[in-house]
């Protein structure tokens, strides 16, 4: 079908294609190329500018760094050399290196003490208020001032300041003219268009090609590029008074100065535009020229051939497939392009193919029509309103219509309203989605009124334009399959109901309630009104009704002879019987005549193959047909009911058995809970009567050796107990049971030979049983139980009585053994008490020895584990030692135990164990008479180890201290032998020799003093003494030593000075040792201060003498040990300061002999303070 709108000519379309899709995109490509090349060029220029800026920043950084290095070297010279050396270096630096205009040295007060070049006006100038000097004092680090214009040179300048060790500073005025020269000469790049400038953080120019701008302190902080570059390296285009600019900027990290490189925008892009614009104009002219020549070529080779080809397409559209191309005179021009000629050939081949396919389509149509007429499934087509437009014969057969009656019939005529609504929803879904429907089963109404089920699939029919015009579908008659499915569902429901009933009745274990549940649920399952269950009656040899349901009255207990009625015949034959017309049946029972039974069904209840009852169901007043499936269902239900009845009977038997066993267990617990024979017999007889319900019970004790009965008891049902006063007859039941050792059961005693005598007849015994009481193979008694009324002993009752007899035999045996053991225990008790008293006395003696021992004593078992320890050993293992050390001690004890097991002899094994703060000697020996046990003795040898360490340290220190002066004496003695007496070196060697001899004498005196202190022979003469005087004397004696070590010695006495009760000579000795130590351990330039005072401690006033120094100090680890004898810290040994380690020990001992003490405070590299506390005189104490 042709469109109503007029299509455009081909030439116009091709022209639009050329213009819109070739020329304009090409022009756009050229413009985009220009646009994109510009940013690339711009990015290249930005990178080149940033490279220039970084290079300039590196020059500035190197220049400042070089100047700092020179000042650092000058600072080192100032700190470690003479002022003349510093002056010489600064003059050479200023002369050879043109970095600094001037150099200054400031003292700690900020006053200029040295200036280069010399300038009298600056000499003595106070620069302490300069900001850079204040910062230098606070930070103690090199710093650089803000840039300024030097008044001397007129150049930009900064101060570089370096701190000196004496608190002063070295300052250099760094000339920045070098940076100006680098900027003005454009050293970094050969591009003359670049302008490079340097500004400080505030935007003041420090370097610029135009020097006058620098001299005028021009600010450039208003430039956008300056504000951006202060944070990160950046590039951007901005406008200045000179026009648009492309600029880049970055900051120098060390000083914060900004480097800016800029270039006029026209200088960058001018040459580029001069080349691009002519090329663009030339391209436009060429495109328009080519377009004009292309239009004629398109008209001749494309437009005219396509017009003729369109005429031929109209011929094909009219259905004239037999007219070849060119038959109407419209031939394709030979000037047509190759593609159009090929298109014409394709049109001709398409015409021939359509002609062939039309013939094939007609043949296929005939074939499919034949298939539709012969298939069993119905095929139909309906319009959008649901009226038949086409159908095959199978469709007519399914709906029961003649072929000519169904055309035009609407679907609502052969279905009910509900089905019609359902089908409408399905057709509507197919119409909306266009997708075929899944198979759906419909219930349809045939023309004769019967109903059928049809499984149908529906799809949409469209016309050639794709518009829906109707529906087609295929239908299959599934009526028989649907009926089978309904029957299967009904059968499944019955089986599910049977399963539920089976679960319900098998869960019930009470027999009476179970029978009632079986009848009720069976009636509901089979949809029948009444039912009953018959069970076999062994006594009457028939069956009787155990339970019933649904009848007009109760028939429970009614008997039915076997072979009579429905139930009697079923019980006899063991097969199911169905009576359809019970009232006319000849075998009916008169018992049920008034119930109006129409249909009666009897099913046998079987336990394996044995019939145990009959399940009957009766339809009252209305017949109930039973087909084969109903019969199968009834038999399945009866089988489940029989299983449930068997389970209930088993449960009842098991419950009865459990009750008997529980009673037997209770009896067993009672008879075994006591060992008194009389009580045991009473308990057995009482429980036997309670368990069996018998009239009386007897127990006789039997002696197999003498074959006589020695003791007995009897229990009556009325509750009274009588002792046995007669001996059983030798031919009676009791004697026979004892001799045979087998039970004798008599259910009819009146006719038994044991009870036919007149005497026994008077006992009126109806039933009696006797059981031997056996312990192993020995009969210890006879147990009899009698009934004064008729009674038959069942197997279960006999088994129960045998178990009771076994328990009774065990209890009687235990009671007899208990009596024997009790007699023997009474004999042993007196012996045990006597021996226990002896052992307690021995144990008390051993405990006293162990508890009073000062050594640890441990007893181990065969595995080396501790089984006993005295208090000393327990304290070590649980309190004194750490867990790790305690474990080591346990391991050592275990090893000592193992050593005692390696030999048959029992020598003591000695080992030693070093623990934290504890040294132990361990000895172990095997305990006589016990091959595995051992006793371990642990002796504390910590004191001996400490004495040994002190001795070793003393010998080492004394040996070293004696060896050094002896070696020196020998050296100078040898030198004196080589030098003549008149030589000047003779006196020098002699003085050194005397000095070493004094040192050795001092060492020996210290050792002797320690010995006198330890021996208690040091004499102390206490007199009131002013301590200020003792301090003065001591400092006068030590001043020469302090001067030699360049130490300032100072006294700070308190006035009035304290008066202490001391020995003046000994206190002077104390102060001498403390002051000498302070001088020796204080570096040159330090000082030692001795103070006196009065302080309060321990509730009284004390005199104090403190010796303070600025020496090396004492570490926290060594501080607790400094008063130990021969202790020397790491510092003195590292500095090779001689000493014995006895000085502070002597100080401590002397002060404590005066009733005082020595305290010390010290920090490494901060010095130490030793304070001596001495008692004041009584007058000053009261004051």
Residue 1099 pLDDT: 83
Using the predicted structure, report yes or no on whether residue 615 has a pLDDT greater than 70: yes
Contacts 24+ apart (CB under 8 A), 963-967: 964/1138, 965/996, 965/997, 965/999, 965/1000, 965/1003, 966/1000
Alpha-carbon distance 802 to 770, whole Å? 10
- The CA-atom distances, in angstroms, between 535 and each of 515, 564, 642 are 10, 14, 11
Residue 5 pLDDT: 43
| Residue labelled with tokens 């009556």 | 716
Using the predicted structure, report yes or no on whether residue 331 has a pLDDT greater than 60: no
Contacts 24+ apart (CB under 8 A), 343-347: 343/309, 344/305, 344/309, 344/312, 347/309, 347/312, 347/313, 347/316
Please classify residue 920 by burial: count the beta carbons closer than 10 Å to its beta carbon, then call 0-12 exposed, 13-18 middle and 19+ buried. buried
Contact 411, 396 (CB under 8 A): no
Of the two residues 751 and 490, the one the predictor is more confident about is 751
> Which residues 6+ apart lie within 8 Å of 248 measured at CB?
46, 49, 50, 52, 53, 225, 229, 233, 234, 235, 260, 261, 262
Summarize the confidence of residues 1140-1155 as an average pLDDT: 85
Most confident of the following: 494-498, 730-734, 1038-1042: 1038-1042
Nearest 10 degrees: CA dihedral of 531, 535, 539, 540?
40
The upper half-sphere exposure of residue 232, i.e. CA atoms within 13 Å in the direction of its Cβ, equals 3
Of the two residues 273 and 221, the one the predictor is more confident about is 221
Summarize the confidence of residues 732-750 as an average pLDDT: 86
Residue 854 pLDDT: 77
Using the predicted structure, report yes or no on whether residue 3 has a pLDDT greater than 50: no
Alpha-carbon distance 1003 to 996, whole Å? 11
> Which residues 6+ apart lie within 8 Å of 1095 measured at CB?
1101, 1102, 1104, 1173
Using the predicted structure, report yes or no on whether residue 692 has a pLDDT greater than 80: no
Work out the pLDDT band at 906, boundaries 50, 70, 90. Answer: very low
Residue 2 pLDDT: 40
The upper half-sphere exposure of residue 261, i.e. CA atoms within 13 Å in the direction of its Cβ, equals 27
Residue 1168 pLDDT: 92
Residue 504 pLDDT: 62
- The CA-atom distances, in angstroms, between 441 and each of 122, 445, 485 are 120, 13, 13
Most confident of the following: 170-184, 972-986, 1103-1117: 1103-1117
Using the predicted structure, report yes or no on whether residue 46 has a pLDDT greater than 80: no
Length of the chain: 1183
442 closest CA partner among 484, 408, 474, 404: 474
Residue 299 pLDDT: 65
Of the two residues 480 and 1155, the one the predictor is more confident about is 1155
> Which residues 6+ apart lie within 8 Å of 511 measured at CB?
645, 648, 649, 652
Work out the pLDDT band at 1109, boundaries 50, 70, 90. Answer: very high
Q: 985-1022: per-residue pLDDT in tens?
A: 777 777 777 776 776 776 677 777 776 776 667 788 88
Using the predicted structure, report yes or no on whether residue 534 has a pLDDT greater than 70: yes
Alpha-carbon Rg for the chain, nearest whole angstrom, is: 67
Comparing 97-101, 268-272, 385-389, 997-1001, the range with the smallest average pLDDT is 268-272
Work out the pLDDT band at 729, boundaries 50, 70, 90. Answer: confident
Alpha-carbon distance 749 to 791, whole Å? 10
> Which residues 6+ apart lie within 8 Å of 103 measured at CB?
74, 90, 93, 94, 115, 116, 170, 171, 172, 173
Comparing 227-231, 444-448, 609-613, the range with the smallest average pLDDT is 227-231
Of the two residues 318 and 1127, the one the predictor is more confident about is 1127
Please give the helix or strand (H or E) that residue 1175 lies within, else none.
strand 1167-1175
90 closest CA partner among 50, 121, 117, 125: 117
Residue 919 pLDDT: 84
Is the pTM higher than 0.75? no
What is the rounded average pLDDT for all residues in the chain? Answer: 79
Comparing 286-300, 524-538, 641-655, the range with the smallest average pLDDT is 286-300
Residue 668 pLDDT: 67
714 closest CA partner among 739, 689, 743, 749: 689
Domains of the chain (ranges; CATH) run 6-351 (3.30.450.20), 375-477 (3.30.450.20), 486-647 (3.30.450.40), 674-826 (3.30.450.40), 853-924+931-940 (3.30.450.20), 1019-1182 (3.30.565.10)
Q: 240-280: per-residue pLDDT in tens?
A: 877 788 888 888 887 888 888 888 877 766 666 667 677 77
> Which residues 6+ apart lie within 8 Å of 894 measured at CB?
860, 864, 865
Residue 215 pLDDT: 81
The strand pairing partners of 926, in sequence order, are 934
> Which residues 6+ apart lie within 8 Å of 355 measured at CB?
321, 322
Work out the pLDDT band at 540, boundaries 50, 70, 90. Answer: low
Comparing 183-192, 365-374, 824-833, the range with the smallest average pLDDT is 183-192
Using the predicted structure, report yes or no on whether residue 22 has a pLDDT greater than 70: no
| Residue labelled with tokens 């009474």 | 826
Q: 546-588: per-residue pLDDT in tens?
A: 889 989 888 888 888 888 888 888 888 888 989 888 888 888 8
Alpha-carbon distance 802 to 1004, whole Å? 107
Residue 279 pLDDT: 75
């Amino acid at each position: 079908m042709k469109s109503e709108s007029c299509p455009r000519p081909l030439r116009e379309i091709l022209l639009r294609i050329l213009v819109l899709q070739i020329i304009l995109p090409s022009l756009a490509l050229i413009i985009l190329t220009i646009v994109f090349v510009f940013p690339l060029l711009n990015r290249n220029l930005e990178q080149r500018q940033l490279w220039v800026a970084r290079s300039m920043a590196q020059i500035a950084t190197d220049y400042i760094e070089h100047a700092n290095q020179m000042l650092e070297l000058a600072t080192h010279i100032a700190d470690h050399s003479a002022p003349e050396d510093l002056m010489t270096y600064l003059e050479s630096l200023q002369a050879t290196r043109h970095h600094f205009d001037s150099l200054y040295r400031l003292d700690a007060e900020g006053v200029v003490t040295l200036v280069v070049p010399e300038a009298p006006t600056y000499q003595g100038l106070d620069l302490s208020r300069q900001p850079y000097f204040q910062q230098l004092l606070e930070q103690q680090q090199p710093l650089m001032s803000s840039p300024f214009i030097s008044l001397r040179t007129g150049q930009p300048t900064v101060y570089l300041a370096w701190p000196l060790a004496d608190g002063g500073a070295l300052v250099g005025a760094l000339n920045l003219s070098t940076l100006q020269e680098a900027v003005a000469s454009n050293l970094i790049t050969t591009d003359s268009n670049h302008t490079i400038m340097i500004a400080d953080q505030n935007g003041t120019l420090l370097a610029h090609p135009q020097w006058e701008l620098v001299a005028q302190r021009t600010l450039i902080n208003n430039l956008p590029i300056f504000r951006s570059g202060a944070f990160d390296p950046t590039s951007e285009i901005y406008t200045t008074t000179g026009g648009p600019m492309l600029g880049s900027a970055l900051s120098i990290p060390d000083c914060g100065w900004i480097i800016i490189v800029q270039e006029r925008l026209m200088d960058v892009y001018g040459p580029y535009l001069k080349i691009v614009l002519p090329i663009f104009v030339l391209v436009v002219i060429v495109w328009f020229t080519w377009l004009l020549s292309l239009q004629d070529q398109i008209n001749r080779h494309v437009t005219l051939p396509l017009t003729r080809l369109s005429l031929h397409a109209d011929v094909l559209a009219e259905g004239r497939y037999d007219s070849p191309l060119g038959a109407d005179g419209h031939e394709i021009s030979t000037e047509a392009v190759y593609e159009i000629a090929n298109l014409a050939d394709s049109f001709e081949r398409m015409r021939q193919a359509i002609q062939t396919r039309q013939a094939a389509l007609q043949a296929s149509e005939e074939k499919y029509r034949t298939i539709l007429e012969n298939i069993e499934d119905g095929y139909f087509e309906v319009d959008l309103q649901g009226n038949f437009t086409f159908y095959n014969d199978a469709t007519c057969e399914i709906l029961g219509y003649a072929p000519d009656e169904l055309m035009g019939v609407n679907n609502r005529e052969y279905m009910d309203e509900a089905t019609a609504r359902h089908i409408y929803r399905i057709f509507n879904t197919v119409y909306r989605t266009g997708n075929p429907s899944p198979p759906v089963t419909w219930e349809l109404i045939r023309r004769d009124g019967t109903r059928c089920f049809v499984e149908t699939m529906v799809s949409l029919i469209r016309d050639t334009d794709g518009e829906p015009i109707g529906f087609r579908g295929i239908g299959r008659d599934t009526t028989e399959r649907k009926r089978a499915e309904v029957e299967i569902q009904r059968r499944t429901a019955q089986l599910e109901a049977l399963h539920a009933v089976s679960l319900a009745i098998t869960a019930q274990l009470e027999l009476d309630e179970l029978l009632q549940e079986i009848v009720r649920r069976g009636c509901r399952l089979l949809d029948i009104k009444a039912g009953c269950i018959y069970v076999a009656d062994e006594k009457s040899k028939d069956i009787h009704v155990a339970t019933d349901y649904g009848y007009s009255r109760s028939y429970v207990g009614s008997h039915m002879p076997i072979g009579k009625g429905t139930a009697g015949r079923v019980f006899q034959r063991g097969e199911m019987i169905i009576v359809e017309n019970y009232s006319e049946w000849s075998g009916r029972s008169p018992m049920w005549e008034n119930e109006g039974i129409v249909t009666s069904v009897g099913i046998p209840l079987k336990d394996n193959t044995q019939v145990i009852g009959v399940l009957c169901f009766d339809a009252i007043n209305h017949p109930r047909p039973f087909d084969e499936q109903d019969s199968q269902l009834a038999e399945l239900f009866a089988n489940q009911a029989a299983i449930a009845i068997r389970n209930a009977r088993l449960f009842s038997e098991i419950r009865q058995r459990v009750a008997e066993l529980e009673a037997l267990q209770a009896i067993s617990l009672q008879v075994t809970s006591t060992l008194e024979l009389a009580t045991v017999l009473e308990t057995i007889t009482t429980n036997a009567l309670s368990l069996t319900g018998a009239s009386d019970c007897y127990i006789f004790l039997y002696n197999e050796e003498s074959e006589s009965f020695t003791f007995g008891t009897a229990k009556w049902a009325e509750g009274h107990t009588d002792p046995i006063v007669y001996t059983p007859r030798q031919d009676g039941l009791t004697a026979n049971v004892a001799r045979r050792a087998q039970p004798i059961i008599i259910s009819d005693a009146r006719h038994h030979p044991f009870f036919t005598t007149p005497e026994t007849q008077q006992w009126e015994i109806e039933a009696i049983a006797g059981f031997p009481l056996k312990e192993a193979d020995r009969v210890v008694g006879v147990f009899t139980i009698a009934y004064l009324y008729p009674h038959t002993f069942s197997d279960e009752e006999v088994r129960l009585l045998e178990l009771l007899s076994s328990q009774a035999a065990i209890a009687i045996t235990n009671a007899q053994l208990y009596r024997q053991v009790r007699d023997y225990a009474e004999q042993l008790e007196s012996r045990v008490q006597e021996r226990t008293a002896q052992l307690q006395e021995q144990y008390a003696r051993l405990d006293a020895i162990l508890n009073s021992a000062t050594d640890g004593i441990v007893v181990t078992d065969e595995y080396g584990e501790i089984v006993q320890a005295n208090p000393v050993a327990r304290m070590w293992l649980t309190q004194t030692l750490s867990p790790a050390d305690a474990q080591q001690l346990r391991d050592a004890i275990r090893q000592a135990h193992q050593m005692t097991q390696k030999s048959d002899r029992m020598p003591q094994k000695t080992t030693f164990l070093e623990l934290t703060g504890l040294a132990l000697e361990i000895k172990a020996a095997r305990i006589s008479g016990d091959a595995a046990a051992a006793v371990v003795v642990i002796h504390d040898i910590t004191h001996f180890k400490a004495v040994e360490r002190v001795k070793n340290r003393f010998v080492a220190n004394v040996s070293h201290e004696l060896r050094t002066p002896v070696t020196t004496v020998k050296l100078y003695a040898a030198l004196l032998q080589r030098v003549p007496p008149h030589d000047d070196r003779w006196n020098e060697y002699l003085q050194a020799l005397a000095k070493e001899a004094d040192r050795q004498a001092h060492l020996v005196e210290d050792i002797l003093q320690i010995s006198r202190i330890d021996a208690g022979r040091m004499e102390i003469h206490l007199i009131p003494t002013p301590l200020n005087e003792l301090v003065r004397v001591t400092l006068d004696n030590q001043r020469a030593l302090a001067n030699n070590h360049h130490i300032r010695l100072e006294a700070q006495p308190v006035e009035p000075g304290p008066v202490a009760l001391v020995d003046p000579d000994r206190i002077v000795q104390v102060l001498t040792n403390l002051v000498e130590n302070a001088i020796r351990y204080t570096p040159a330039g330090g000082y030692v201060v001795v103070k006196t005072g009065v302080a309060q401690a321990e509730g009284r006033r004390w005199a104090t003498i403190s010796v303070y120094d600025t020496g090396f100090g004492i570490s926290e680890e060594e501080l607790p040990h400094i008063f130990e004898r021969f202790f020397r810290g790491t510092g003195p040994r590292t500095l090779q300061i001689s000493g014995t380690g006895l000085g502070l020990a002597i100080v401590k001992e002397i002060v404590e002999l005066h009733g005082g003490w020595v305290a010390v405070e010290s920090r490494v590299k901060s010095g130490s303070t030793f304070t001596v506390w001495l008692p004041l005189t009584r007058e000053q104490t009261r004051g």
